[in-house]
Each structure stands twice: as structure tokens, then as C-alpha cells.
Chains A and B, each alone.
Chain A
Amino acid sequence: MTIAASTELICFVILSGVIITGGLGVILLRNIVYSAFLLGGVFMAVAGLYLLLNASFVAAAQILVYVGAVNVLILFAIMLVNKKEDLKPIKGLQVRRLLSGGVCAGLLALLIRVDLTTPWPVPGPKAIGEKATERIGEHLFTDYLLPFELASVLLLMAMIGAIVLARRDVLLTDVGTGDSVDQGLIEKPISPLLIDKSKS
């Protein structure tokens, strides 16, 4: 085994350890802020795996989009809904956890069996290596042009939708003149949409 190969192996072992322990921490830790930061660590480790697989463009996109945007968004959401609440104990929570754990373990066993027993045609054709970024660009502007354009429309819709959904309550009068303002469809005065039945 050459030095390069063993380095690759060591990197893979370390990264997968980080991914698995980080993922377990994300779902098991009590403090949600720790979970969010661990999630960032998991995203970075996944980007490291992509580098190991010779995909530098996707690794960079992963770090930019996931660590830079999604994780920060999650942290902001945690900050905005930051309320210490004691969760009411539910009857049969432990049974529920065990049952779903059993189902997940079964799914895991099934997936691992498929992973290990299928005869993958490895080694396949030679990997492309450093020219991957150029090839991704060619794909995006030739045979994947329609999904690419649809993705841009999807991003625009998601942006507008997120803004509309997350708006704070609005002023129904103009701040300067005091006249009433018709805010149209998207803005509405604050009123609880959902009646909390647990209080009554």
C-alpha cells in the first residue's frame, strides 16, 4: 500500500467517524444550539468526502451552500424561536422510540445488505479527476439546461415564499400620514390562525 493510498484510507476513516458521531449528536443532544453547530461539522466532513472523491466543485458548493447558508439559516431560526419550554411528557414515548429504532435498524440492515451483496462493476471507467468542473458546466448548459433553469425559478419562488411566510405583523396605517393603507393580499393583521385547543 502506497503512502497516498494509506493517507486516503486514514482520511476516509476520520471523516466517516466525524460524520457518524456528528449525526448522532445532531439528533441526540439536548441543546439545539450544539446540534446546529455539530450539523455544520457534519456538512464540512461531507465536503471532505467529496474532495476525497475528486469533486472539488461540489465540495466548494457544499461548503458555500450548506455551511454558509443553510446552517446559518438554521441558527437564525433557533435564535428567533428561542424559548425555553419544558416538553410535556408523552405516554409511551419510550415505546415509540424503541419501535422506530427497530424500524430504522431494519432499514439499515436492508440497505447495508444491498450495499454489500450487489456486484458493483468496480472499477468502472477511468475517473475524470481535475476536469470535473468544466464537465459540470458543459452538462449544466447542454443536456441539463431545463432542470438548471427550473432550479433558478424554484429558488426565486422559495425566496419570495419564505419572505411572505415569515413576515412580521404589518402596520395597517401609514407611519407618515396616518392614513389607512390597503396592504392587499400578502399582508394581514396579526391574528391567531389556529385556535389552541389545549388551553381550553
Chain B
Amino acid sequence: MVESINYQIPLSAFLVLASLLFCIGVWGLINSRNAVRVLMSIELMLNAVNINLMSFSAYLDGDLIRGQVFSVFVITVAAAEAAVGLAILLSLYRNRITIDMENFNLLRW
């Protein structure tokens, strides 16, 4: 049972998948006009990073599964970030009555 990772899937397959997901997240983060979608893109990027951590922990770290511990921490921080982000979004919506990112330009120089 311990041998069930038999390296049929190369490590780089996981890494390429994570890179793809990360770049999708970056593109969505830049181009979304709906503020909720921006938060979703951030979640996608965090998940890509988690895939990286988990695959390194499974393939390279052996007994000390530090990658898994780190991804537990990342999941925790992501949950906190989502809660605070959505609360900020709600109060922004209450003040500006829009969720279009183009209208949140109060600090624009």
C-alpha cells in the first residue's frame, strides 16, 4: 500500500498542470471586471500552489511530509482571505452600488 505511488505519472506532469492553473488564475485576475470573479481567480492560484506543494511532498519529501503541512496552512489562510475579501467586497458594494472593478478607482493617481 505504501508503494502505491509507483511513479507512473512523472512529477513534471503535476507541475505543468499547476502552472497551467496558475496562469489561468493570473489571466482571470487581471481581466475580470466582476469583483467576485477576481476573488475566484485568487482561489484558483492558491490551489495551483497547493498542487505544487503536494506533489513535491509526495515525490521528493518521503517520510517528512512537510508539503502537506504547508498546504494545510495555505488552505487556512485562503479561507481567512476569502472571508475578509468578500466582506470588503460587500462594504464596497454598499458604498458604490457596483461591483465593476473599473469603478473602484478612488486611489488612482
A interface residue numbers (CB < 8 A to B): 1, 4-6, 8-9, 12, 16, 19-20, 23-24, 26-27, 32, 35-36, 39, 42-43, 46, 49-50, 52-55, 57-58, 61-62, 65-66, 69-70, 73-74, 76-78, 80-81, 83, 85, 87-88, 90, 96-97, 100-101, 104-105, 107-108, 111-112, 115-116, 120-130, 132, 135-136, 139-140, 144, 147, 151, 154-155, 157-159, 161-166, 190, 192-194, 196, 198
Contact = CB atoms under 8 A, between A and B. Distances in A.
Interface residues of B, number: 87
A165 B85 CA distance: 10
Contacts of B62: 124-128
Given A1-B8, A58-B54, 9 more contacts: A55-B57, A85-B98, A88-B102, A101-B27, A105-B23, A124-B61, A139-B66, A165-B88, A190-B94
A115 B76 contact: no
Contacts of A154: 76-77, 80
Nearest to B34: A32
A104 B41 CA distance: 14
Interface in B1-41: 1-17, 19-28, 30-37, 39-41
Contacts of A54: 4-5, 58
Contact of A132 (B12, B27, B51, B65): B65
Interface string B85-97: 0111111011111
| Shortest beta-carbon contacts, A-B, top 8 | A125-B62, A27-B28, A158-B80, A111-B19, A165-B87, A115-B15, A129-B2, A162-B87
Contact of A125 (B28, B61, B76, B80): B61
Given A49-B51, A81-B93, A155 B76 contact: yes
Given A42-B47, A165-B90, A78 B26 contact: no
A19 B100 CA distance: 27
A59 B69 CA distance: 12
Majority SS of interface residues in chain A? helix
Contacts of B82: 69-70, 73-74
Contacts of B94: 190
Contacts of A1: 8
Given A58-B71, A90-B102, A192-B95, A100 B27 contact: yes
25 contacts: A4-B4, A8-B8, A9-B8, A19-B21, A23-B24, A32-B37, A39-B43, A42-B44, A53-B58, A66-B47, A66-B79, A73-B83, A74-B40, A77-B36, A78-B36, A115-B15, A115-B19, A120-B60, A122-B7, A125-B60, A125-B62, A139-B65, A164-B87, A193-B95, A194-B106
